[in-house]
Chains A and B, each alone.
Chain A
Amino acid sequence: MAEKILLIDNSESHARALKLYLERSRLSVLIASSSGEMEKQFEKRDFDILLVDPFFQGGDISAVIEKFKAVNPMVQVIVFCEKKHIDKAMDNLGSVAINFLERPVNSKALDLAVVHAKRCISNERRLANYSQRLSDLQNAQALYHQLFNESPCYISVQNRDLRITAANTLFQRDFGKQIGGHCYEIYKHRESPCPDCPVVQTFEDGKSRNTEEIVTSISGKQYNVLTQTAPIIDDNGEITQVMEMSTNITQIRQLQDHLSSLGLMLGSMSHGVKGMLTALDGGIYQMESGMKKNDPERTEKAFELIKQMADRIKKMVLEILYYAKSRELQYESVGSVEMFNTVISTITNLAANNNVAIKTQIPQNLGEIEIDPNWVQSALVNLAENAVDACRYDNDKDKDSHQVEFSMWEEKDAAGEKICISICDNGMGMDQETREKMFTLFFTSKGSQGTGLGLFIANRVIKQHGGSISVKSSPGKGTCFELWLPRKRSDVSMVEKSIESLHKTKNCSTEGVMIKETIMDSGLNDASYH
């Protein structure tokens, strides 16, 4: 690209001579010989080099030149003037011009000045180019940094020692800022690398891997994550690091767990439900025929059966409803002793009919407790019924009498005030297996009489209130359930609690599947003998 020169000179002849000289060196030259022309050219700015005599038309235009140069830093300024003015020109434009020439201009000095100006122009163009690229690069880097940091998944970069060398904001928020630590320590609180580590496999063959993992955050929460790995390759094609990107799919898994155990529950309960409905049909038939035959004994017995079945069906439906929807607890402040006495009164008849004595050790007043009374009461009724049942079905002839003892007291510790309850019977007791499985979904020791939901839900209700339940039992001697509830509504958020209980459900449901499969197996085996 040929540089353009604007020549500002008083003397038209001198200007023309310069123009001719410069045009021979393939430069294009514009001339401004009046201040009007100069202003017009400055306006257009269509030149790269300004060749100027600052003592133009008797005045001094140094200030104008300085101002122009400040606005157009790319334009190179060469000054020429009478020898006597040159000092003054240097004083005025020393920081603006790259060269000062004497009038009349020596052609060699002009050539050198132009070469110098051209070099300056090209250097400055290059510099501008570089700084543009540099700022683009910085923008891009900032953009990628932002993408990395703000991605809605956990991103970490790991070296061959499985140490984390970089991690994004979300990762650091949930798993801490221990850059440099081992990923298995940070992600899973393990002391050695995980078996089948996808990062190790990606280091080996450079291929991306997908796995599903369960990881533990700094707050101890467990997350299900879908993990993808990708190699990071250096200029030599070597895999130096591996990026691991994990998407949190905990909510999806929870929903799946919940739905699958719900389906499982409905499946395995349908047998019980059908039995109840058949018995209900039986009650209706006997009542009908009892009335037709005028047989009051039969009618009354039938009515009792219908009532009993209606109660059992009601209970089962409520249990299913409780399970089907993890509803929030409706907290109320109720009298602890009154609440417990209501529970005991519901099983008084059942106990009396089966010769089971009821003993109580309950103080007059233990103050108020913040609970969802519906669920806590039904959990306690469940435990109380179990205690009576354990006595009813105890065939030990050596025992003189059966009894259930209900106790209530308060305790205080660092966590706050607790209301404690124990329900102890001297019935048949439980062996270790029953003890271990009793809180499991669908586990029942009562055959077709039980749904396997009662204790599971009782346990869940107590846990959801932030309390705890434990059991001591020995076969033949009896069982003691002990539980406590915080007096004040627990601070632990409901979400965490329900997540926790859902995790439990997952473990339980696998067992449920096995039990069901065994049932189907034995059924099929029997059939296949024919």
Chain B
Amino acid sequence: MKKILIVDDDPNIRDYLVSLLEDNGYATCTANDVRDGLKIAKAEQPDLITLDLEMPGEWGPRFYRQISQDKDLKNVPVIVISGLSGNDYAISKAVATLSKPFDREELLSLIKENIL
């Protein structure tokens, strides 16, 4: 089963993504900030990551920079899901960027296309 890491500080949105992705046949793991996210990414080696940009402490772009320097994680596709406007430019190498509130069919098809 493919595994997806969800990084978001809002517990309600994490719950939503967990239910949605598990209902569609993915395994999930979650992190509520960048530090946790890095730890869990290294431990769990996910096949795809959804990433929020604005979180307490360090922000999403820093998370991306860190994993892109990690030899095991640098090829893991990242989908940005954020409420910031103009978020398309924040992480230009993300495979996709969605704005909150997002369309769930769009997210599912993006995952299907990009997952390793």
Contacts and interface: CB of A to CB of B under 8 A. Distances in A.
Interface stretch (B8-16, B39-47, B70-78): B8-16
B92 A282 contact: no
B15 A286 contact: yes
- Interface residue range, chain A: 20 to 34
Contact of B61 (A274, A278, A285, A527): A527
A271 B101 contact: no
- Interface-central residue, A271, A277, A448, by most chain B CB under 10 Å: A448
Contact of A279 (B13, B56, B84): B13
Contacts of A286: 15-16, 19
Interface string B67-93: 000000000000000011100011111
A282 B8 CA distance: 14
A289 interface: yes
B104 interface: yes
B2 interface: no
B19 A282 contact: yes
Contact of A527 (B9, B15, B54, B91): B91
B20 A285 contact: yes
Interface in B48-64: 53-54, 56, 59-62
Contact of B13 (A271, A272, A282, A526): A282
A270 B85 contact: yes
A438 B109 CA distance: 44
A37 interface: no
Interface residues of B, number: 31
A481 B107 CA distance: 46
B89 A278 contact: no
Contact of A281 (B56, B83, B85, B104): B104
A526 B89 CA distance: 11
B16 A278 contact: yes
Contacts of A522: 59
A108 B108 CA distance: 131
B90 A527 contact: yes
A271 B9 CA distance: 13
A530 B102 contact: no
Contacts of A289: 19, 23
Contacts of A274: 83, 99-101
B91 A277 contact: no
A275 B12 CA distance: 9
Contacts of B89: 527
A224 B84 CA distance: 36
A527 B92 contact: yes
Q: Which 5 pairs show the lowest CB-CB distances between chains A and B?
A: A282-B16, A526-B61, A274-B83, A279-B12, A277-B101
Given A277-B100, A530-B92, A530-B93, 6 more contacts: A274-B83, A283-B16, A285-B104, A289-B23, A448-B9, A519-B54
20 contacts: A271-B84, A274-B100, A275-B10, A275-B13, A275-B100, A278-B10, A278-B83, A278-B101, A279-B13, A281-B16, A281-B102, A285-B19, A305-B12, A448-B9, A448-B10, A523-B54, A523-B59, A523-B84, A526-B59, A530-B93
Interface of A: 270-275, 277-283, 285-286, 289, 298, 305, 309, 447-448, 519, 522-523, 526-527, 529-530
